[in-house]
Each structure stands twice: as structure tokens, then as C-alpha cells.
Structure 1
Amino acid sequence: MIYDNIRTICEKKNISIKQVERELGFSNSSICKWNECEPSVWKVQKVADYLGVSMEYLLSDQKEAS
């Protein structure tokens, strides 16, 4: 869910997830694992700030919200 939301936002903003990881200092492919393992709140907040959305938005089930 978290990864899917990040991927959707990145597609809309025409940036790659690799770019997000690189600019935030995360390891390669770390964000794509977030659907299977829980990231730290700190990392989710950094991604939310970078993408200009709230942390709650990244954590929400967008299918239910639509």
C-alpha cells in the first residue's frame, strides 16, 4: 500500500523512485520493499515531505478513499 501510493505520486510528478531514494540517502530498492516490511516513521515522513504530501496520505488505502 505505501509503495503503491508512492509509485502513483512519482508517476504523476514524473520522477523515479530511484531518484527519491538517491536524493533522500536511502539504499537502492528500499522503498519497493515497504509493502512487505514496515519502514520507520522517520523515513515515511522524509518521503512525504519530498513528494509534498502528508504522511497520512502515503499510509492511506487510496482505493477506499476513491
Structure 2
Amino acid sequence: MFSKIEELCRKKGITITELERELGFGRGTILKWKNSSPSVNKLRDVAKYFRVTVDFLIK
């Protein structure tokens, strides 16, 4: 999941930190998803931002 978000950020020309700021997440929130699962709400926010489905992010 983290690698997909990282790839989407690359394609959009933003960093993970910029994405976190844009979505109002705490700094390092998405980086923690390498080792833990995000809340459904945060994952939904990321999916909505990139206009993809939650399923796309988790598969």
C-alpha cells in the first residue's frame, strides 16, 4: 500500500510530506503505514485525493 501511495505521489510531483500536509495528517503519518495499517478514514482521504479506490491502494 505504501509503495502505491509513493508511486502516486511521484506521478503527481509531490512528496509524501506534502501529501500529509495537504490532507491535514500529522507529519510521518503515511510513513508509518509501512509497518502498520491506517485508519479507514485516512485511507479513504488518500484515495479521494488521488481519485482512486481504496481497493486499488490496498491490493
Q: Between Structure 1 and Structure 2, whose CA radius of gyration is higher?
A: 1
Determine which structure has greater relative contact order: mean sequence separation of CA pairs < 8 Å that are 6+ residues apart, divided by chain length. Answer: 1
Q: Which ranges of 4 or more aligned residues in structure 1 deviate by more than 4 Å?
A: none
**Structure 1 residue 42: Cα displacement:** 0.5
After TM superposition, the score normalised by the length of structure 1 is 0.83
**Structure 1 residue 6: Cα displacement:** 0.1
Residue of structure 1 in register with 2:14 after alignment: 15
Letter of the structure 2 residue corresponding to residue 18 of structure 1: T
Residue of structure 2 in register with 1:58 after alignment: 57
* Structure 1, unpaired ranges of 5+: 61-66
Equivalent residue pairs, number: 59
Distance 1:3 1:28 in 2: 15
After TM superposition, the score normalised by the length of structure 2 is 0.92
Residue of structure 2 in register with 1:64 after alignment: none
Among all aligned residue pairs of Structure 1 and Structure 2, give the percentage whose two residues are the same amino acid: 41
* Structure 2, unpaired ranges of 5+: none
Residue of structure 1 in register with 2:27 after alignment: 28
Letter of the structure 2 residue corresponding to residue 21 of structure 1: E
